[in-house]
Amino acid sequence: MAVGNKKKVKRGLEFWMFVGPVFLVFAVIVLVPFFNGVMYSFTDWNGITGELNWIGLDNYVRLFTVDEQFQQSFWLTTRYTVVAVILTNLVGFILAFLLTQNIRTRNFLRTIFFMPNLIGGLILGFVWQFIYVKGFASIGELTGWSLFELPWLGDAQTGFWGIVIVSVWQGGGYIMVIYIAALQNVPQELVEAAKIDGANRLSTLRNITIPLIMPSVTICLFLTISWSFKLFDTNLSLTNGGPFKSTEMLALNIYKESFTNNNLGLGSAKAIIFFVVVAAITVTQVYLTKKREVEA
Amino acid sequence: MSTAQPLPKPELKPEQPAPKKRGRYSVRLGTVEIAAVLIGLLYMIPFYYVISNSFKTQGDIFTNTSGLPKEWITSNYTDAWEAMNFGKVFLNSVIITVGANAVIVIFCSMAAWKLVRTKSRLSTIVFFLFVAAMIIPFQSIMIPLSKLSGDLGLQNSYWGLILMYLGFGSGLSIFLYHGFMKSIPEEIEEAAIIDGCSQWGVFWRIVFPLLKPITVTIVILNTLWIWNDFLLPSLMLRDVELRTIPLATFYFFGQYTKQWDLALAGLILGIIPLLLFFFAMQKQIIQGITSGSIK
């Protein structure tokens, strides 16, 4: 009995010797602040006076009734997510499809398309600010195409599409890498068999290839949804939410509410809503697409 | 399918498909190639604009944005380097990225090993917490974290920031190690224990070397993230001397918004290090992304 207990204690000690250090850090950096955040969301904390008053659900009520900027950011983020997710996956898949054909430049081109992913969202936003403001204007002058003569980043519409173009340009190459790996794993016998049975390219793609790469579609949708919904760096550096907050997405709105306006209690409430929405969307999406996966 | 068969020979109708000729270059493939190259060129246009303009004078940028520089000047780079204090900033990024990778690899591999080898409810719960927390967006933690880290004295230091990266990176890294670890046979470890090796020795001498492939993946994914991360260091680092590349770029760009000549050179300085890293490790990076996402 005593021996058994001793062994148990030793096992427990060993477990915490290996798991303990990182769990402690994880708890202090992630878990505790997360629960603190839930608590702060019920207060009027403003970060300056250090005074905290419990105000119940007031912050949450305010978000859904008075705070029009939050609602607008929410709606903007939703529209942006839908558009960016569809376009990024489409571009990524088309690139992957082209670059799994037996063409000579494919390795070189894969590198080219992946390269934007090495640049952080912040620097990328600045780079594209130059492209939109100076580059597009210059192309417009040279070609006379009205598309390039629009006031890029100067109004809500071009600001929205400006952000979409940058995200697709960057994310497409990352998604491409995942789709390439998936396409290379599709058994060639199945594709050949479909051809022999008289299927054309399009129906082979639709009925054989796409069902077989559904696991990757799950992953790519998951990645792009979470990138889009949480977009911050590019939003900050490309438009900084402007003009007149018309391109201020949720993450940026939370940031400004908390650190520019110093409404940390209200910011916390926004952050909790943000968490709930992100969690709900990603869990639902993984559940839905998992159901559509098939085995080869 | 479109090529007409000159003589129908029914007996040739293959039971198995004819072996595909390697290197066959059809019209269709040629079209695909041209389309792909054109898209590639389109993709590169932003790089062309930024690079060519970074070698121009301010006047040349305004009158001749699309053309090549009338006169190639390099003073933009030397000026931007000095104004950003780029040498120092680069070193800060290296220290933080390398430090964070080291602690993540050491502590996450250790934890993942015990979590896989211990079959208990506690072990399952701890693993679940690590994985579930991955879904929490950074914005939902940053407000209380900036207060807590101030109270704990973690702000404004390399070490504080490195610990935070360990906290935020632990979920994915433990998850990836956990998945990989299952494929390592337990018998090797048992044999070593019988030979008198301690748990510590078993892990570092036998298990850890076997984890090398997934360690490379984890280091690459974390490097891409930490090197480019802006928000966390911007909340945690106050001193100018501690700034990382994204932070320095942010403040530099804010200062020189209308001075595109310097701003563009500064942006390119910020891009170059990771580009070099990529060309040195291209194969591992592509593999890392693929295996990191498939799990």
- Partner residue facing A36 (CB), from B1, B148, B250: B148
Residue range A152-162: mean pLDDT, rounded? 90
Q: What is the DSSP letter of B21?
A: P
- Residue A296 pLDDT exceeds 50: no
Residues B207, B201: Cα–Cα separation, whole Å: 9
pLDDT at A295: 56
CATH of the domain at B189: 1.10.3720.10
Binary contact (B66, A233; C-beta < 8 A)? no
Mean pLDDT of A41-46: 88
The answer to the question of residue B56 being in a domain is no
Calculate the CA B2 to chain-centre distance.
45
pLDDT of B69 higher than 60:
yes
Q: Which of A108-112, A185-189, B149-153, B173-177 has the highest mean pLDDT?
A: B173-177
DSSP conformation letters of B171-239? HHHHHHHHHHHTTS-HHHHHHHHHTT--HHHIIIIIIHHHTHHHHHHHHHHHHHHHHH--HHHHHH--S
Question: Can you read off the two tokens belonging to residue B30?
Answer: 């040629």
B164 domain residue, yes or no: yes
| Residue A268: pLDDT over 60 | yes
Query: Which residue spans within B33-158 are E strands per DSSP?
Result: none
Q: How many domains does chain B have?
A: 1
Residue B79 inside a domain? The answer is no
A3 confidence band (pLDDT: 50, 70, 90): low
The answer, for A255 touching chain B at a CB cutoff of 8 Å, is: yes
Instruction: Please compute the mean of the pLDDT values over residues A62-71 and round it to a whole number.
Output: 88
Residue B23 belongs to a domain:
no
Q: What is the mean pLDDT of residues A5-30?
A: 91
Half-sphere exposure of B108 (CA within 13 A, CB side): 32
Residues in chain A: 296
Dig out the tokens for A178 from the structure.
Answer: 């995942």
Q: What is the DSSP letter of A43?
A: B
Q: Is B281 exposed, middle or buried (0-12, 13-18, 19+ CB in 10 A)?
A: middle
Task: Dump pLDDT digits (tens) for B130-185.
Answer: 999 988 999 999 999 998 998 899 999 999 999 999 999 999 999 999 999 888 88
User: Is residue B209 in a domain?
Assistant: yes
pLDDT tens digits, A190-230: 888 888 888 888 888 888 888 888 888 888 998 899 899 99
Mean pLDDT of the region B65-91: 90
Q: Which of residues 12-51 of A touch B (CB under 8 A)?
A: 14-15, 17-19, 21-23, 25-26, 28-34, 36-37, 40, 47
The C-alpha atoms of residue A280 and residue A237 are separated, in whole angstroms, by 28
Query: Is a pLDDT exceeding 50 seen at residue B11?
Result: no
Distance of CA B146 to the CA centre of its chain: 25
CB neighbours of B291 closer than 8 A, spacing ≥ 6?
B213, B214, B217
Tokens linked to A271: 């952050």
Q: Note whether A29 contacts B113, CB cutoff 8 Å.
A: no
Residues in B touching A171 (Cβ below 8 Å): none
Q: What is the pLDDT of residue A294?
A: 63
Give the residue from chain A lying closest to B15, CA to CA. Answer: A196
ipTM: 0.88
User: Which residues make Cβ contacts (< 8 Å) with residue A120, sequence separation at least 6?
Assistant: A233, B227, B228, B229, B230, B246
The secondary element (H helix, E strand) that includes residue B129 is helix B121-132
DSSP one-letter string for A138-187: HHHHHH--HHHHS-TTTSHHHHHHHHHHHHHHHHHHHHHHHHHHHHHTS-
Q: List, for residues B102-135, the tens digit of each pLDDT value.
A: 999 999 999 999 999 988 999 999 999 999 998 8
What percentage of chain B carries pLDDT values higher than 70?
90
Q: What are phi and psi of A54, to 5 degrees?
A: -75, 120
**B78 is a domain residue:** no
Quick one: what percent of chain A has pLDDT higher than 90? Answer: 46
pLDDT band, very low/low/confident/very high, at A2 (cuts 50, 70, 90): low
Can you tell me the distance from the alpha carbon of B74 to that of B249, in angstroms, rounded to the nearest whole number?
A: 19
**Model pLDDT, residue B3:** 38
The predicted model gives A127-156 an average pLDDT of: 88
Task: Say what percent of chain A tops pLDDT 70.
Answer: 97
- Put simply, whether A162 touches B (Cβ < 8 Å) is no
Q: Is A287 on the interface with B (CB under 8 A)?
A: no
Domains of chain A: residue spans and CATH: 66-290 (1.10.3720.10)
**Residue B48, in any domain of the structure:** no
In this structure, is residue B10 part of a structural domain? no
CB within 8 Å: A283 and B136 = no
Instruction: Say what the pLDDT of residue B62 is.
Output: 84
Calpha distance A235→A240 (Å, rounded) = 6
**Which of B35, B140, B263 is opposite residue A37, by nearest beta carbon?**
B140
The answer, for A113 touching chain B at a CB cutoff of 8 Å, is: yes
Which residue range is the domain that position B264 belongs to? Answer: 87-294
- pLDDT, residue B13, reads 38
Q: List residues bridging with A54 in a β-sheet.
A: A43
A236 vs A260: CA distance, rounded Å: 13
Q: Is some CB atom of chain B closer than 8 A to the CB atom of A260?
A: no
Q: B2 or B52: whose pLDDT is higher?
A: B52
- The top-scoring range by mean pLDDT among A21-35, A123-137, A260-274 is A21-35
Average of pLDDT values for A256-265?
Answer: 89
